[in-house]
Amino acid sequence: MTDEADGTAERLLQFVSTEVSVSPDPIEADTDLLLTGAVDSLGVIRITQWMEDELGVEVDPVDVTLENFQTVARMIAYLGRHQPA
């Protein structure tokens, strides 16, 4: 992972942990956010909005799947495939 990706991962993890998670448990990069209920559907919307506002990445609603948004690590992988133009 590049330094930029590390920084993005850290920022996203911080946002999810402090602003979105409804779980009292710590959130790690590989925490299953959706199946554990740590993040609800509104939280996913907030995460996609954060990605668009903070990172300039346009998130296609079709891409909001377990494959892409189940964990912070998967979100970072998704972001790596969808860099802003």
Spans of all domains in the chain: 3-81
Provide the pLDDT for residue 1. 52
Provide the pLDDT for residue 82. 84
Provide the pLDDT for residue 5. 66
H/E stretch holding 9: helix 3-15
Q: What is the pTM for the complete model shown?
A: 0.89
Query: What six digits make up the tokens of 41?
Result: 């559907």
Assigned superfamily of 3-81: ACP-like (1.10.1200.10)
The secondary structure of the chain in percent helix, strand, coil, rounded to multiples of 5, reads: 60, 0, 40
Written as tens digits, the pLDDT of the chain (85 aa) is 566 667 899 999 999 999 999 999 999 999 999 999 999 999 999 999 999 999 999 999 999 999 999 999 999 999 999 876 5
